[in-house]
Structure 1
Amino acid sequence: MIFYQVNRILYKPHIINKFLRNVHTETTSSSNILYPLKSRGLLKVTGDDASVFLQGLITNDMNHFEEGTKSMYAMFLNNKGRVLYDTLIHKWNKEESFLIECDRKLVNVLQKHLKLYKLKRKVNIEDVNDEYLLYALKSTNVKDVSNEKINVYKDPRLTELGYRVISSVDVKDSDVAQTVGNDVVTESNEDGYKYLRYKLGVSEGADDLPPGTSFPLEANCDYLHGVSFHKGCYIGQELTARVHHTGVVRKRIMPLKFNETISNNIERDSVISASSNPKSNLGKLKGVVNNYGLGLLRIKEALDAKILSVANYSAEAQKPAWWPIEAPKELLKSE
């Protein structure tokens, strides 16, 4: 009798389809893929004052490196608290040596920004894009590599984003793939990595965060371990701290799931509205890859609207699973 019931349940088409979807998802997600990040660039900051120098310019705390951290997510802000450059900072070989990863288009601008505040500090800032290549590695079996040619760093933002790989330019992609893991496939571009970011709801680079337009908490910098609220002063700190302590962040970067694959180019910063109210303005589009997009959205309104309209396409705003669970207002009041 029990055997018959089990078979009857397995025979139901929707159960079988659900099972097949899960198998497909697990198979796909277990792939080991190396994406070349040609959209990202590197600056090397070295010198006796390198750590102290960066401490006064970034949202995160450089002291984490003394505690064993190898990579850190951080933003450089202007004096009005808006994001200029979103970066990953990687500890390099020497004691006071760091590689700052940022949008390739902004490497020179960031270098000038750093030199502006250098003053008489013992710091050297150089563009090293002719020396190193950057990769994103999506893998479940990664080798811990750290040598003169290849270095592997765990992405400090989310586990789902995998790893960053920095290699010398004289190392072939195939050799990098063979060195960092087993059965690693190398892609020819970073479209797959961008799709992964959009599906997770993670912004990166000037296309998603045009310099001087967004606040760090709107870009989920706090949720992605990119801001310290316990360190000393840094440029743009006052407004960031005030917004954090008031707990009022009405807009955030969120994933948008479209009802179809988008083959046409949709203009960036297109207005996102509720389908039931075309005149409403719930946010702006940052980009689209296949059936997922990224938008800076009014959180409550976008989630309440259910169906959104973006340049005549229908989409749904999704609350990322990695966002922290918010405490009930009653609990906050009692505290």
Structure 2
Amino acid sequence: MSFRFFPIFAKNLKLHKYYSTVCSEFNVSKLTNKAFLRLSGVDAFSFVQTFVTNDIRRLQNDGCIYGFVLNINSRILADLFIYRLNDRLQLSERELVLNETSKDRFVQSKGDSYDQLLIECDSNLCKSIAKTFFAHKLRKDVKIEFANEYSVWAVFPNNILKNQHLPSFQLTSNDFIFVRDPRLTSFGYRFVAKLNSNHLNTSSIVKNMVHSQIRESNLRDYRRYRFKLGIAEGFDDFGHARMFILESNAHLLNATNDRKGLFIGEKMTSRILKSEKIRRRIMPIKFERVNSDVFSGSLITSFDERPVGSVVSVDDKYGLALLSSSHAEKECELLHPHSKQLLSTHIPFWWSLENNSSSQGFLSEQRHEIEKVNNFRIKPE
């Protein structure tokens, strides 16, 4: 695919006027803390389906989905962005179905050897995830390999878009992927390129795609943008089995699917979701001033010195905290005893968005016509 395709593609979409009214400037940050795995083969989709919280079949309509890998106690081990690498997918025709003869295992029908998935993960966890996949591969027809030739950039608005939505369009190929971030309709885009980034004019390509002004930024700018939105990502935020999936607000970020069937950690997740007892949630915080005494895991209290949570991550004055649900229902000021300063928190606007909370990452019946969903169950071998 040549570079000439990008401006032509964007103009054909007639998005110039739309972008100009929604966002006048986008930031482009290369995510140097990310790495990629490529899975291919007949069993690639069914294999990944057993691990992630989201439904792989959504890739029939979407170029990218977001999900988590959990342990059996529903605690987060890793978060993943999963991309499709070809446009030949017909997943509804290759439904994961129950083997009526044995009743105790599940098989995939009509898998194809050209099926490919590209998995974006935290670079600190890439080898561990690969080892986990290899350990569960057994006799499945799936090839697992590192895809070091890929790089990813986050494309996000200069200002937070609270009541607006970025248009959903996608370009997916083996060389380039440009899709809207699957977590929020106003978050931004993700741009994945296979070519050597040293010879890639990223800003020019992105500008031709979004038809807005582009500002090159860095990883810290992207982190602060996420923190202002109250969205965690990667090992630095989630740690290892440190928090439950619903504490990360995954059910509001299109990272779960209550109709896909069983996956590792599903039982505990369903139990918590049905009981509606999410005791702690990740929320955005802002400190009065920059202070080196603020660190991950440090205590946060109310004014009467009652513990209400802890710091998850911090950068400059902005950060994320895991706070009790009683404080997740209101805007308030809190204390950070170690640094002896005040911090404020607020309810993220996207918690109450109808278009986001109504779907909650569940399979949209208007967009996906998949039969036999209720019969779909996955049992890890």
Q: Sort the TM-score into its range (normalised by shorter chain).
A: 0.7 to 0.9
- Of the candidates 282, 306, 315, which is equivalent to residue 332 of structure 2? 306
Are 2:98 and 1:81 equivalent residues in the alignment?
Answer: no
Q: 2:169 & 2:52 partners in 1: Cα distance?
A: 30
Structure 1 counterpart of 2:221:
192
1:106 maps to what in 2? Answer: 125
Distance 1:287 1:202, change over 3 A: same
Equivalent residue of 1:38, what SS?
Answer: coil
SS of the residue aligned with 2:267? helix
For 1:320, which of 348, 354, 358 is the aligned residue? 348
* In the alignment, structure 1 residue 284 sits paired with structure 2 residue 277: no
Q: Distance in 2 between the 1:35 and 1:233 partners?
A: 36
Q: Which protein, 1 or 2, shows the higher relative CO under an 8 Å CA cutoff with sep ≥ 6?
A: 2
State yes or no: 1:219 paired with 2:212. no
Q: What residue number does 2:267 align with?
A: 238
Structure-2 change in CA distance of 1:29 and 1:308 (3 Å): farther
Tell me what 1:36 maps to.
30
Unaligned runs of 5+ in 2: 1-19, 90-114, 158-165, 358-381
| Structure 1 counterpart of 2:194, one-letter code | S
Task: Name the residue aligned to 1:90.
Answer: 83
Check conservation: 1:223, 1:324, Cα contact below 8 A.
no
The answer to which of 314-323 and 133-142 deviates more is 133-142
The answer for the alignment partner of 2:178 in structure 1 is 152
Residues 1:47 and 2:65 are matched in the alignment: no
* 1:118 pairs with 2:137: yes
Q: Which amino acid aligns with 2:327?
A: E
C-alpha distance in 2 between matches for 1:143 and 1:63: 18
1:264, CA displacement in angstroms?
A: 2.5
Q: CA deviation at 1:185?
A: 2.4
Label 1:186 to 1:265 Cα distance change in 2 as closer, same or farther (>3 A): farther
Distance 1:304-1:159 versus aligned 2 partners, 3 A rule:
closer
Q: 1:124 to 1:36 in 2, by over 3 A?
A: same
1:164 aligns with 2:157: no
Q: What one-letter code is carried by the residue in structure 2 that aligns with 1:218?
A: E
Task: Mark the runs of 5 or more structure 1 residues left unpaired by the alignment.
Answer: 1-25, 328-335
- Contact conserved, 1:282 with 1:302, CA < 8 A, in 2? no
**Cα distance in 1, alignment partners of residues 199 and 252 from structure 2:** 33
Distance in 2 (alpha carbons) for counterparts of 1:64 and 1:141: 18
Q: C-alpha offsets along residues 201-221 of structure 1, whole Å, 9 cap, x if unaligned? A: 000011110121111100011
- C-alpha spacing 1:312/1:168, structure 2 compared with 1 (3 Å): same
8 Å CA contact 1:167, 1:176 repeated in 2: no
Q: Is the 8 A contact 2:63 2:170 kept in 1?
A: no
Deviations 1:262-300 (A, max 9, x none): 1526221111111x222x211110112232210111021
**For the Cα contact (< 8 Å) 2:249–2:282, is it kept in 1?**
yes
1:198/1:269 CA distance change after superposition, 3 Å: same
Aligned-partner Cα distance in 1 for 2:307–2:199:
44
Matches of 1:143 and 1:231, distance apart in 2: 25
Residues 57, 145 of structure 1: CA spacing in aligned structure 2 closer, same or farther, 3 A cutoff?
A: closer
CA contact 2:331–2:346 (8 Å) conserved in 1:
no
| Separation (CA, whole Å) in 2 of partners of 1:212 and 1:155 | 25
Q: How far did 1:247 drift?
A: 1.0
Structure 2 letter corresponding to 1:259: E
Partner residue of 2:163?
A: none
Contact kept, 8 Å, 2:169 with 2:179, in 1: the verdict is no
Cα distance in structure 2, aligned partners of 1:142 and 1:186: 22
The verdict on how the C-alpha distance between 1:108 and 1:160 changes in structure 2, with shifts beyond 3 A counting, is same
Report if the CA contact (8 A) 2:67-2:79 is conserved.
yes
**CA–CA distance in 1 between the matches of 2:128 and 2:225?**
28
Which letter maps to 2:239?
P
The 8 Å contact of residues 85 and 173 in structure 2, kept in 1 or not, is answered as no
2:257 maps to a residue whose letter is: S
- The TM-score with structure 1 as length reference comes to 0.81
The residue type equivalent to 2:215 in the other structure is V
The alpha carbon displacement at 1:160 in A equals 3.0
Larger Rg: 1
Deviates more, 1:242-251 or 1:135-144: 135-144
Q: CA RMSD in A?
A: 2.6
Asked if the contact 1:145–1:180 (Cα under 8 Å) also holds between the matched residues in 2, the reply is no
Q: How does 1:257-272 map to 2 (within 5 A)?
A: 257-260=286-289, 262-264=290-292, 266-272=294-300
Contact 1:91/1:99 (8 A) holds in 2: yes
Which letter does structure 2 place at the counterpart of 1:33?
A: N
Distance 2:51 2:170 in 1: 30
Shift of the alpha carbon at 1:132? Answer: 0.9
